[in-house]
């Protein structure tokens, strides 16, 4: 499978270049976008509502940011496409953040129109200046647009992008990294430090890139074994994760559907019980998450394989798999030396909802896990002989 390792490394390098492109953005526009969010997020005694308007994997990238907002601001409440805008609309206390790479997603445009009709404030991040969403928001006096040139100005050619980064992965990754990197700049501005160069944003993006490049240094023999265990199977793929790792896991699960595999997110209502031939892939940075541990023990008891993606080689999850002689089924994603202490030990909690650690820690693992899983998808497409056009036919 040496060719698959080459594909993995090339896909990872390409995604690192996507992160690097975020440093080429006009910092005046980044500062303006950050500053406008500060005006809404500034502490207030009144409750405020943020609408996350996006669909598919773009939505999951946005929801990571909404979760960050909810964790840091007591009186800010996020809502998604599952909640009609009209249900919670309060004049002057609402902000819509829309994400649409193409600008042509009907559900997203419908909600944008709802906010505009009600007279609310709306911000759009898109990759298509000719899209319907761009025109709607640009022509609206309470709307602003930030364009991330994910599709039109990449240095690689179209064929390479479709092979190594299929189905718009670059835009989704860039939105995830951009919003997470924007968070420290927002915090600085709330403290009165308004840096026009957005230094904290730039240093965070560089940190994300430095961490991501470590993924290419993962042991080739181990990866070769891991790919060989993951793809040549007819059983079902059940992907697990909670919190921000859960958002990565849901994005990963979508891609297995696009690869024409039977897949489920662990916490969906229609997810079946484990059986022999299935594989359970929990994504957990610390590796001690209660839900991941329970899922692992259940899967093993039912005869299913377990192939976790983690950053903690000393976790309880790793110890369990070692006892079962399945250490090589573990994918340990590397992080920089300065972050290793965040992902060590075997301390467990009863639930992720009660963990301040989960709420406030730096999202290094989630960015790396997104890049790793995106590269795994590129490997899977090559192994299974599926091109991007075939994946699109499976896309909802």
Percent of the chain residues past pLDDT 90, beyond the cut: 62
**Which pLDDT value is given to residue 139?**
95
- Asked if 295 and 195 sit in the same domain, the reply is no
Could you tell me which residues come within 8 angstroms of residue 246 by beta carbon, excluding any fewer than 6 positions away? 240, 267, 283
Regarding whether 248 and 118 lie in a shared domain, the answer is no
Same domain, 137 and 208: yes
Section 72-93 average pLDDT: 74
Tell me: the pLDDT tens digits for 166-217? Answer: 766 889 999 999 999 999 999 999 999 999 999 999 999 999 999 999 999 9
- For residue 88, name the pLDDT band (cuts at 50, 70, 90): low
Q: Are residues 73 and 162 in the same domain?
A: yes
Report pLDDT for 161: 63
Q: Average pLDDT, whole number, for the chain?
A: 87
Most confident of 18-27, 86-95, 151-160: 18-27
pLDDT tens-digit profile of 235-286? 999 999 988 888 899 999 999 999 999 999 998 888 899 999 999 999 999 8
340 and 388 part of one domain: yes
Secondary structure E strands in the chain = 48-53, 76-79, 94-100, 121-126, 143-147, 237-240, 263-265, 279-284, 305-306, 309-310, 331-332
Q: How confident is the model at residue 28 (pLDDT cuts 50, 70, 90)?
A: very high
281 and 309, same structural domain? yes
pLDDT at 344 over 80: yes
Classify residue 283 as exposed, middle or buried by CB count within 10 Å of its CB (0-12, 13-18, 19+): buried
What is the predicted pLDDT for the residue at 153?
33
Greater model confidence, 351 or 47 = 47
Q: Which of the listed residues 195, 213, 231 is the one where a domain comes to its end?
A: 213
Q: Is the dihedral of CA 239, 245, 251, 255 positive or negative?
A: negative
Per-residue pLDDT, 74: 83
pLDDT band at 360 (very low <50, low <70, confident <90, very high): very low
Please report the pLDDT score of residue 152 as a whole number.
37
Same domain, 188 and 226: no
Q: Which of 161, 286, 284, 285 is nearest to 295 (CA)?
A: 284
| For residues 109-135, average pLDDT | 93
Confidence of residue 343 (pLDDT cuts 50, 70, 90): confident
DSSP for 266-279?
TTSTTPPPP-TT-E
- 204 and 220, same domain (yes or no): no
The domain tally of the chain equals 2
Among residues 189, 213, 237, the one where a domain terminates is 213
State which of 173, 188, 213 marks the end of a domain.
213
| Least confident piece of the model among 145-149, 334-338, 377-381, 386-390 | 386-390
pLDDT of residue 85: 65
Percent of the chain at pLDDT exceeding 70: 88
Summarised one tens digit per residue, pLDDT across range 275-322 is 999 999 999 998 988 999 999 999 999 999 999 999 999 999 999 999
| pLDDT score, position 355 | 46
Q: Cβ atoms within 10 A of the Cβ of 191, count?
A: 8
Mean pLDDT of all residues in 224-240: 94
Residues 227 and 122 in one domain: no
Task: Give the pLDDT of residue 348.
Answer: 60
Give the CATH number of the domain where residue 149 resides: 3.40.50.10490
Burial bucket for residue 285 (CB in 10 Å: 0-12, 13-18, 19+): buried
Task: Give yes or no: residues 243 and 356 share one domain.
Answer: yes
This prediction's pTM: 0.89
Main-chain phi, psi angles of 212, to 5 degrees? -65, -35
Among all chains, which residue has been given the structure tokens 């270049």? 17
Which band of pLDDT confidence, cut at 50, 70 and 90, is reported for residue 79? confident
Task: Give yes or no: residues 186 and 224 share one domain.
Answer: no
Domain that holds residue 136: 2-213
pLDDT at position 43? 84
Q: What is the pLDDT of residue 104?
A: 94
| Letter string b/e over residues 306-343, b meaning 16 or more CB atoms within 10 A of that residue's CB | bbbbbbbeebbbbebbeeeebeebbbbbbbeeebeebb
Check: CB of residue 369 under 8 Å from CB of residue 309. yes
According to the model, what pLDDT value does residue 23 have?
Answer: 96
281 shares its domain with 195: no
**Is the pLDDT score of 357 beyond 70?**
no
């Amino acid at each position: 499978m040496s060719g698959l390792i080459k594909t993995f490394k090339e896909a990872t390098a390409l995604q690192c270049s996507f992160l690097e492109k975020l440093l080429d953005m006009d910092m005046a526009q980044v500062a303006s976008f950050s500053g406008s969010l500060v005006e809404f997020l500034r502490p207030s005694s009144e409750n405020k509502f943020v609408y996350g308007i996006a669909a598919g994997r773009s939505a999951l990238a946005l929801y990571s940011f909404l979760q960050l907002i909810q964790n840091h601001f007591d009186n800010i409440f996020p809502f998604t496409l599952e909640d009609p805008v009209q249900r919670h609309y309060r004049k002057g206390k609402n902000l819509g953040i829309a994400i649409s790479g193409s600008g042509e997603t009907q559900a997203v445009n419908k909600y944008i129109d709802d906010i505009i009709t009600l007279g609310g404030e709306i911000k759009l991040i898109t990759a298509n200046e000719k899209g319907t969403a761009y025109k709607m928001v640009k022509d609206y006096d309470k709307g602003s647009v930030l364009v991330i040139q994910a599709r039109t100005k990449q240095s690689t050619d179209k064929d390479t992008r479709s092979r190594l980064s299929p189905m718009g992965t670059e835009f989704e990754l860039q939105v995830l990294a951009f919003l997470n990197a924007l968070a420290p700049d927002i915090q600085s501005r709330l403290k009165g430090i308004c840096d026009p160069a957005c230094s904290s944003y730039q240093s965070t993006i560089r940190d994300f890139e430095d961490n991501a490049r470590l993924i290419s240094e993962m042991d080739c023999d181990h990866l070769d074994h891991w790919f060989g265990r993951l793809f040549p199977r007819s059983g079902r793929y059940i992907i697990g994760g909670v919190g921000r790792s859960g958002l990565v896991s849901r994005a990963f699960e979508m891609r297995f559907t696009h690869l024409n595999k039977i897949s489920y997110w662990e916490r969906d209502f229609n997810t079946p019980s484990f059986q022999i031939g299935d594989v359970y892939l929990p994504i957990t940075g610390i590796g001690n998450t209660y839900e991941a541990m329970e899922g692992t023990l259940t899967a093993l008891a039912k005869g299913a394989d377990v192939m976790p993606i983690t950053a903690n080689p000393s976790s309880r999850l790793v110890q369990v798999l070692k006892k079962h002689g399945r250490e090589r089924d573990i994918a340990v994603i590397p992080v920089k030396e300065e972050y290793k202490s965040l992902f060590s030990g075997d301390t467990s909690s009863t639930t992720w909802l009660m963990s301040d650690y989960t709420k406030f820690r730096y999202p290094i693992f989630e960015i790396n896990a997104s890049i790793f899983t995106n590269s795994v998808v590129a490997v899977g497409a090559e192994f299974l002989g599926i091109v991007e056009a075939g994946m699109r036919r499976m896309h909802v």
